[in-house]
Amino acid sequence: IKRIGVLTSGGDSPGMNAAIRSVVRTCAYHNIECVGIYRGYQGMIEGDFKEMGPRSVNNIVNKGGTILKSARSKDFMTPEGRQKAFSNIQKAGIDSLVVIGGDGSFTGAEVFNSEFNIPIMGIPGTIDNDIYGTSFTLGYDTALNTVVEVIDKIRDTASSHNRLFFVEVMGRDAGHIALNAGIGAGAEEILIPEEDLGLERLLDSLKKSKASGKSSSIVVIAEGDKIGKNVFELKDYVEANLPEYDVRVSVLGHMQRGGAPTCFDRVLASRLGVKAVESLIEGKSNFMVGILGDKITLTPIDQAIKGHSEIDRELLKVADIMST
Ligand code: F6P
């Protein structure tokens, strides 16, 4: 291994910059060259590269987003696109890759490796925390803290006006953000894709909550929940069935993807970057680096793609008890 290419791909997440910094500086530490590839796989196809040294990553450990920019490349899904990408990295002398992204990005990496046999390492970067083989993905902790901070503010209005708020959070098909931020922010109910509460039980729970003396409530809803109504339809449904409730909706959206990474995400990014580069140096390929317990681990990338990251079911019970 002489020259590593690093790219960020898919949705950005806080901590990606800290991971780029770690990869670049670990390369420098081991006297390996490092090349930044802009806009993920699309930049690989277009030959958008930049030489990176330890000074090119100054002052980014604390920055959200990704200085390398990110994209979801359609061209890379075609054999012609990948061929072009490979010619470009060959021309640039890049002999291995670190891909920072989610499972779509890892799928691309795996296909690319199988076609051209270029060593690759994946670093999980997504706020959704939906990747098998790691307890935490980069950006998840930051997103949780952002969501909790915002719901704390929403609670002020909920409580001042005796209102019920439906707060929709991101997570794609996974309920990790909703479940954990919901508990952290003291939600009355949490709707997640992994557990369909059902409309009747939701109404029942809201009725009970009113009867128990609560005057305001927060319900956190994962964007991928299975209740069968979008958050605005749900508001209408609840108001029609429980006229005693004055409901408002807040869809948090992309604010959850931005902002300075938490210390946890920065430390995790630094550790994962070191492990990714050092694993390539040791001759390993086709793994995703992750964290299980407090140990930095390697998971075969095909397992990371195919496996399912389960929610912790104990948290469902905790959430339930906390809303008593
Ligand atoms: O995967 C991260 C994520 O923010 C999801 O939570 C969300 O469903 C999706 O990306 C939004 O994608 P886009 O930014 O392309 O609209």
- pLDDT single digits (tens) 95-120: 999 999 999 999 999 999 999 999 99
Question: Other CB atoms closer than 10 Å to residue 221's CB: what's the count?
Answer: 25
Q: What is the pLDDT of residues 212-251, one digit of tens each?
A: 999 999 999 999 999 999 999 999 999 999 999 999 999 9
- C-alpha to C-alpha distance for 187 and 167, rounded to whole angstroms: 10
pTM: 0.97
Ligand 1 centre distance from Cα of residue 273 (Å): 23
pLDDT at 308 over 90: no
How far is 308 from 297, CA to CA, in rounded Å?
17
Neighbouring-strand partners of residue 120: 97
Q: Give the whole-angstrom CA distance, residue 89 versus residue 78.
A: 17
- 254 CA distance to ligand 1 centroid (A)? 8
- Rounded to whole angstroms, the Cα distance separating 250 from 242 reads 19
Number of H helices, E strands in the chain: 11, 11
Q: pLDDT tens for residues 136-194?
A: 999 999 999 999 999 999 999 999 999 999 999 999 999 999 999 999 999 999 999 99
Is the shortest distance between the CB of 39 and ligand 1 below 6 Å? no
**Sheet of strand 247-251: strand arrangement:** 189-191, 217-222, 164-169, 247-251
Which residue is closest in CA terms to ligand 1's atom 13? 11
Annotated binding site for substrate: 126-128, 163, 170-172, 223, 248, 254-257
Check if 21 has its Cβ closer than 6 Å to any atom of ligand 1.
no
- Between helix 176-184 and helix 314-322 the angle, nearest 10°, is 40
Structure tokens at 113: 């490796």
Q: What is the CA(11)–ligand 1 centre distance, in A?
A: 6
Other beta carbons within 10 angstroms of residue 20's beta carbon come to: 29
Helix, strand, coil content of the chain in percent (nearest 5): 45, 20, 35
Rounded CA-CA distance 166/232 in Å is 9
Is any ligand 1 atom within 6 A of the Cβ of residue 68? no
Query: At a CB cut-off of 8 Å and minimum separation 6, what does 2 contact?
Result: 32, 33, 93, 95
The answer to whether 301 touches 122, Cβ cutoff 8 Å, is: yes
Q: Residues annotated in the binding site for ADP, as ranges?
A: 21-25, 155, 186-188, 214-216
**Tens-place pLDDT, residues 242-265:** 999 999 999 999 999 999 999 999
Active-site residues, by number, are 128
Report helix, strand or coil for 97: strand
